[in-house]
Amino acid sequence: MRHAIRINSVLALTAATLLTGCSQVERARPRPKASSSIRELDGLQTPSILRGTVGAETVLIGWDDSTSPTYKPTKIRGYGLVVGLDGTGARDVPPDVRTHMIQIMGRQGVGSNRIGFGEVSPEDMLDSPDSAIVIVEGVVPPGAVGRRRTPPSASGRMPEIIPGTTFDVHVYADPRTGTTSLEGGRLYTTDLQPGPLLVGSRQAKRLGQAAGPLFLNPFIENQDVAAGDINTLNGRILNGGQVLEDMPLKLRLINPSHSRIRIIQNAINRRFPLERGQTAPTARGVNDAVIELTVPPSMRDDPDSFVHIVQHATLRQIDSDRIANTTRRALQRDPSDAPHAYWRWVALGPQSLPMVRKMYDYPEALPRLAALRAGAELSDPIAAVSLRKMGRKGTLPERLEAATLLAKLPVDPRTEDVLRDMLNDEDIEVRLRSYEALEQLRSSIVNRTNVPGKFEMHEVPSAFPAIYITQVQHPRIVLFGDVVEILSPLTLGLWDNSLMMKESADEDRIEVFYRHDPLSLAEINRVKPNLHELIMLLAHDPTIEDPSPGLNMTYSEVVGVLHALWRREYVIADFKAQQDRVMAELRRSATMTDYSPRAE
């Protein structure tokens, strides 16, 4: 804004010179110089390092509750149907919900021979004890991108479906029904709308859909997993929801102006040009004060980064080297500007790398970390040299940061060697981040075993045995250590003793007794006393192609067994679940604010 006023002042003075003697022309008043590195704009404080950026002249509306009172994430919900239960559903559905579900299922093809679901009617599906009416809820983040179909190309390429932003959904049985368990169920495609939970024509327009297998986490709400006390009426599907409609963000100019709107709009669209499947420009001026933002498809999984890049985008893309160097000098003067410097470099793009590289070995932590983050984000292989050194010899926050950033760089055997060594770090968070980096790089160090339709089991070498449970994108059970043994003497009973384990007379085996339901015959299997063999027995579904023994347990049932073994100390290892790591990340993840500038 200060830049704009200075330009206006120059224009006014020039006009006065050209029109000497014309008393109607007024000279612009001289603008006082700022007395500090922070200037106030209509009550807002903007760091001087942001001068010449979109963020210096605008306010983002509706992004988070700390910057905008209008922030309001959209909660969406709807009635859904869980199928594939083992007689634990209920047919006592409230009449209005039953009518609503029959209409929805009819529109989705249930009972239609043309679409392929003609063998069963909606009424038959609702009356089945293997299905249950549930309530599905999710929260759509601001800036979410809706699902899109690309138009057919002139070359004959078929249209492509571009997925929308995904989000977690919470699924629980309708309390008005007699459903006893959702274990083993799959959520049928469910429409989700904002506002109160309604049926029929009173509903709002749908904003999302949800579907997928339920995960009933056996250690969220129960106090004693070993006793089988699991809440089976609540489940969740991570990334099980998908946004159908764009949820645009808005920028509001601090000082409205049609000319500034055009400049800002062009700066954003230059940084984020229109992509295939994107129906509207990234930035579109609505009036002289408001710009509407649409997150491009390439950023749909990381709207946070999109927002930061937009705010730090340079208004005039000239002299990128000079801007990058000015940012570097500002960071050296005031290391607390590290987050802004990082995003300014990223917003400038690869043109900023020559200046960023000069900071890779800077003696002070904050500027050095900002540069390494920018280099990793811009895929600069030179950054790997400093990051590998930091991963081996850095402080705990630095080692955590190094593991995360190395995964963003091109594949390099030297990087894999460092990450493999970090799998033996004494801190479990470093080991987990190193594994995640290796998995992101699709390293052969990770041994992967797929259990079709359920989860993947990953095994990584480590001096410290551990079990890590996750369900991001695809459920995974990760075993750290060469072989994680099950200790003897062993006596374990779960789920009213429908599953029992004990050491076998054969010293090299454990005996697993399992009865699927009270009326079925018991099955007894013997496996080697290690987690790999046990997990495969618990999860495997015997088929003609692979008739090896298996109990066909769900992912959450397998996790429950592992957790029970760990709690009873039959497995000596660390146990980390995704929910535990959320809290650990809040407490311990490396951020630029973890570092204290030098006293001077």
CA separation for the pair 577, 556 (Å, rounded): 12
DSSP 8-state class, residue 150 = P
Dihedral of CA atoms 403, 407, 408, 411 in degrees, nearest 10, equals 130
CA separation for the pair 558, 471 (Å, rounded): 13
Name which of 446, 463, 443, 471 is nearest 554 in CA terms: 471
In this structure, the chain runs to a length of 600
pLDDT of residue 121: 79
pLDDT of residue 29: 38
Could you report the average pLDDT of every consecutive run of 10 residues in the chain (600 residues)? 39 35 37 36 63 88 55 79 87 86 80 61 85 89 77 68 82 89 86 83 80 72 42 80 84 90 93 84 91 85 85 84 91 91 93 94 92 94 94 91 94 94 94 94 94 91 92 81 89 86 84 82 89 94 88 87 90 79 40 41
CA separation for the pair 226, 499 (Å, rounded): 11
| Domains along the sequence of the chain with CATH | 1-33 (no CATH), 34-70+248-312 (no CATH), 74-151+159-243 (no CATH), 381-471+582-600 (1.25.10.10), 491-572 (no CATH)
pLDDT of residue 503: 87
pTM for the model:
0.73
Measured CA to CA in angstroms, residue 23 lies from 14, 266, 565, 583 at distances of 15, 37, 91, 68
β-strands 574-577, 466-470: how paired?
parallel
CA separation for the pair 380, 374 (Å, rounded): 9
Spatial neighbors of 566 by CB under 8 A, at least 6 apart, are 467, 573, 575
Is there a cis peptide before residue 489, judged by omega within 30 degrees of 0? yes
pLDDT of residue 585: 40
Partnered with residue 451 across adjacent β-strands are: 455
Task: Order the strands of the 283-285 sheet from edge to edge.
Answer: 58-61, 249-253, 290-293, 283-285
Name which of 102, 74, 93, 62 is nearest 241 in CA terms: 74
CA separation for the pair 414, 388 (Å, rounded): 8
Contact 212, 237 (CB under 8 A): yes
**Phi, psi of 70, rounded to the nearest 5 degrees:** -90, 0
CA separation for the pair 361, 367 (Å, rounded): 9
Residues 563-567: contacts with CB under 8 Å, at least 24 apart: 563/218, 563/219, 563/225, 564/225, 564/226, 564/492, 564/494, 565/486, 565/492, 566/467, 567/225, 567/226
pLDDT of residue 25: 33
pLDDT of residue 43: 43
pLDDT of residue 498: 87
